[in-house]
Amino acid sequence: MSHKFYKPAKSRLQRSELAVPGSSPKMFEKALNSSADYIFLDLEDAVSPNDKISARANIIKALNEMNWRNNGKTISVRINSLDTHYMYSDLVELVEQAGENIDTILVPKAGTASDVYMVDCLLTQIETNKKLKNKIGIECLIETALGMSNIKEIAGSSERLEALHFGVADYAASLRARTVVIGGLNPDYPGDQWHHGLSELAMTCRAYGLRAIDGPFGDFNDPDAYIAAAKRGAAIGIEGKWAIHPSQIELANDVFSPPETEVNKAKRIIEELEKAAKEGKGAAQLDGRMIDAASARMAENVVNIDKLINKK
């Protein structure tokens, strides 16, 4: 390992992340009682300009009156992007009035490290002024060409930063890519045209100790395609995916939960290597295959996720 090391972000279960428009408070109760690990109440794309102010008030009310954490939910709010005049009021009003009940702020269209710095600075000032005990985390959506080109600088921009999300819809628009459905595959491309972006995001997150999350899949009437997209992400290290419809929650939970057989094997790997270490050996054999320290690190990842799931 390099002598340079980035401390891992706070460990949170984030297999499924349900998007809930702040302008639709009737959806809040269903989200609260859903099986989603993560909820983000949205002030950005899912809310029309005429509803921005009322949506903010709806979210503040929901944060203060509904016990998301006791229902096993991590609660996040997606604020409006930094190029709008809504953004500063989003942060000030949300954090001053409901800061103790917010786990993370989701920053859309993050383009540079300075975007994160601005949000961090405002959060710090508000938390200090209001004497909040809860330190709010930051998550960023990488959904523009600028953001992807600056992803490493963004990843190292703040100690508050916990996760990066791949916002495939706006990313496609930023690239002027031809798409068939949000997050889906274009048959004219020989493979997965989102692989590069997702892989870059996953690699960067692991290098800087962040969680790597895939964004939306637009056709909620096509569960097979959603599952295929989630599995492609999981194969390269993505640990969760958005659900823009409640029907996608269980699909994400299933894909990003290690099967019992995988968990049991991971535990056996750790046990066998612990036995080998006591015998002064650096490697061992399990089921006819060699296992070593790298095997242990992979096994620990599986066991840690399983612990988070069982804790929930």
Give the whole-number percent of the chain exceeding pLDDT 90: 78
Predicted model pTM: 0.92
Strands (E), the chain: 16-21, 38-42, 74-78, 104-107, 137-142, 161-166, 211-214, 240-243, 284-286, 289-291
Per-residue pLDDT averaged across 297-311, rounded? 85
Per-residue pLDDT averaged across 281-299, rounded? 79
pLDDT exceeds cutoff 80 at 112: yes
Rounded Cα distance, 150 and 166, in Å:
14
Rounded Cα distance, 60 and 15, in Å:
25
Nearest to 168 by CA among 227, 252, 229, 222: 229
Q: What is the pLDDT of residue 237?
A: 94
Give the bridge partners for 102, in sequence order.
none
Q: What is the pLDDT of residue 154?
A: 98
Burial of residue 169 (number of CB atoms within 10 Å: 0-12, 13-18, 19+): middle
Q: What is the pLDDT of residue 41?
A: 98
